[in-house]
């Protein structure tokens, strides 16, 4: 959530930058500024009224003490009237504050000034590419055919048990998935990230704190009876570990990693892009989260990018990094870089990670702060990235490494999986 005082003081700049996200904030910001002026007036009137009540209470005590009973009773009547006014003002203040918040949460995070203009993924900038694109023979198959032929993923039984988008991993398919999870976690831990095993359901406040609500309400699985949400990413519980906390500057940055199942409704997804493992409703992912001070968050962002690049290099997967344009940058993100691996049998790039700096957008919602060297309280910056999401990584491994009816597993995974080929 953006800070209203920042929007007021930087109105024109904010409106201009939000246009990069194709969001016209002019009317909303103007309305918020007017509402904030109203809030200030109500607050001033309330403070003055409470101050009068306080002063009269002292006078009434002295009047009774000095025998001025009639005067004291007159002032008591005035106090009762003022208390009614204060009650009305308090109610009006609460309503105005609630209205301000309801409108403020509709405004996305202001994009970093380096985020390019653009409407959708077609306008993203490719900033780096590494690895040779595999050349496959004419008998090469997409991963969903490989998975069925090798009996390592059962899509049909997943549909029978739950529905589309819930595959069943079998035998070496299950071991490959588990091996990848352990490899990702080990890489992250060795890079200084602390492993956490968080809940995979969160309450409404937690989902709001990281920006999933209200923006992504329709994409989240909701348990109505308990008012709980299944997490779309471990970013949600990990970042919420520090909700309402004031961190010492010397303890920054905080580096966390977690493996969790993730759940996304993917409403509106259809067609060939959802085949096989391309787009699931339940999938496994290892996440990394950083909490840092503002002056260091861009350095932290690039360290995360370098870390994920190293993992994809060790997996020997061709990959590229894209800087997302404004129209493709998420509601809560200030700047995002996507990683894509090349899927040889499908002959297309598949997104496997998004690395984002949210700056203080999430921290403002979460009241996640730190005390600087001058003992002043500031909002932290929060960052997160997939390290990595498994389905499309598995798809690329299966498709890119098929030779003569065999699938060769990347060397780095041999000890994790217990086999070198399928």
Provide the residue ranges of all domains of the chain, joining segments of one domain with +: 4-104, 121-417
CA-CA distance, 402 to 410, in Å (whole number)?
12
Of all residues in the chain, what percent carry a pLDDT higher than 90?
88
CATH number of 4-104: 1.10.287.40
The partner residues of 341 in beta bridges, in order of sequence, read 319, 350
Is the overall model pTM greater than 0.85, yes or no?
yes
For residue 110, pLDDT beyond 80: yes
Residue, of 63 and 369, whose pLDDT is higher: 369
**Span 384-409, average pLDDT:** 96
pLDDT tens string 254-307: 999 999 999 999 765 555 567 899 999 999 999 999 999 999 999 999 999 999
pLDDT tens string 2-61: 999 999 999 999 999 999 999 999 999 999 999 999 999 999 999 999 999 988 888 887
**Span 388-394, average pLDDT:** 97
pLDDT tens string 302-333: 999 999 999 999 999 999 999 999 999 999 99
Distances (CA, A) of 168 to 177, 251, 283, 357, 416: 11, 42, 11, 34, 20
For residue 250, pLDDT beyond 90: yes
Do 125 and 328 meet the contact criterion of CB atoms below 8 Å apart? no
- SS3 sequence of the chain: CCCHHHHHHCHHHHHHHHHHHCCCCHHHHHHHHHHHHHHHHHHHHHHHHHHHHHHHHHHHHHHHHCCCHHHHHHHHHHHHHHHHHHHHHHHHHHHHHHHHHHHHCCCCCCCCCCCCCCCCHHHCEEEEEECCCCCCCCCCCCHHHHHHHCCCEEHHHHHHHCCCCCCEECCHHHHHHHHHHHHHHHHHHHCCCEECCCCCEEEHHHHHHCCCCCCCHHHCCEECCCCEEECCCCHHHHHHCCCCCEEEHHHCCEEEEEEEEEECCCCCCCHHHHCCCCCCCEEEEEEEEEEECHHHHHHHHHHHHHHHHHHHHHCCCCEEEEECCHHHCCCCCCEEEEEEEEECCCCEEEEEEEEEEEECHHHHHHCCEEECCCCCEEECEEEEEEEEEHHHHHHHHHHHCEECCEEECCHHHHHHHCCCEC
pLDDT tens string 88-99: 999 999 999 999
Say what the pLDDT of residue 89 is: 96
pLDDT tens string 154-184: 999 999 999 999 999 999 999 999 999 999 9
Pairing of strands 228-230, 319-323: unpaired
Say what the pLDDT of residue 244 is: 97
Instruction: Say if 4-104 and 121-417 have the same CATH topology.
Output: no
pLDDT tens string 184-224: 999 999 999 999 999 999 999 999 999 999 999 999 999 99
CA-CA distance, 259 to 394, in Å (whole number)?
16
CA-CA distance, 271 to 414, in Å (whole number)?
35
121-417 belongs to CATH 3.30.930.10: yes
Say what the pLDDT of residue 272 is: 53
Q: Average pLDDT, whole number, for the chain?
A: 95
Say what the pLDDT of residue 236 is: 98
Confidence band of 66 (pLDDT split at 50, 70, 90): confident
């Amino acid at each position: 959530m953006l800070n209203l005082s920042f929007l007021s003081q930087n109105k024109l700049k904010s409106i201009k930058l939000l246009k990069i996200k194709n969001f016209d904030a002019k009317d909303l910001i103007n309305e918020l500024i007017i509402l904030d002026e109203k809030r200030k007036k109500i607050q001033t009137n309330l403070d003055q009224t409470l101050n009068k009540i306080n002063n009269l209470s002292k006078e009434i005590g002295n009047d009774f003490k000095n025998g001025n009973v009639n005067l004291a009773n007159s002032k008591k009547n005035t106090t009762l009237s003022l208390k009614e006014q204060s009650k009305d003002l308090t109610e009006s203040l609460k309503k105005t504050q609630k209205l301000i918040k309801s409108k403020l949460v509709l405004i996305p995070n202001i994009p970093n000034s380096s985020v390019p203009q653009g409407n959708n993924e077609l306008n993203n900038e490719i900033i780096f590419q590494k690895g040779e694109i595999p050349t496959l023979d004419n008998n090469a198959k997409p991963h969903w055919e490989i998975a069925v032929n090798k009996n390592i993923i059962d899509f049909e039984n997943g549909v029978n048990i739950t529905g589309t988008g819930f595959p069943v991993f079998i035998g070496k398919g299950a071991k490959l998935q588990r091996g990848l999870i352990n490899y990702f976690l080990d890489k992250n831990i060795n890079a200084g990230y602390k492993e956490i095993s968080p809940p995979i359901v969160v309450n409404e406040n937690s989902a709001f704190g990281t920006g999933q609500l209200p923006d992504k309400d329709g994409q989240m699985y909701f348990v109505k009876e308990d008012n709980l949400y299944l997490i779309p990413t471990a970013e949600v519980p990990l970042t919420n570990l520090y909700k309402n906390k004031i961190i010492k500057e010397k303890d920054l940055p905080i580096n966390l990693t977690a493996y969790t199942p993730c759940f996304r409704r993917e409403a509106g997804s259809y067609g060939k892009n959802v085949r096989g493992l391309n787009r699931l409703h339940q999938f496994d992912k290892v996440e990394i989260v950083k909490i840092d001070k503002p002056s260091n968050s861009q350095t932290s962002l690039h360290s995360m990018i370098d870390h994920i690049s190293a993992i994809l290099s060790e997996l020997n997967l061709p990959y590229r990094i894209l800087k997302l344009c404004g129209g493709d940058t998420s509601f809560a993100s200030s700047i995002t870089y996507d990683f894509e691996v090349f899927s040889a049998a499908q002959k297309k790039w598949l997104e496997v990670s998004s690395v984002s700096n949210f700056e203080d957008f999430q921290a403002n919602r979460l009241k996640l702060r730190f005390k600087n060297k001058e003992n002043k309280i500031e909002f932290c910056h929060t960052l997160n990235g997939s390290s990595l999401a498994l389905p499309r990584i598995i798809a690329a491994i299966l498709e890119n490494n098929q030779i003569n009816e065999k699938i060769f597993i990347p060397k780095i995974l041999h000890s994790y999986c217990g086999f070198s080929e399928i």
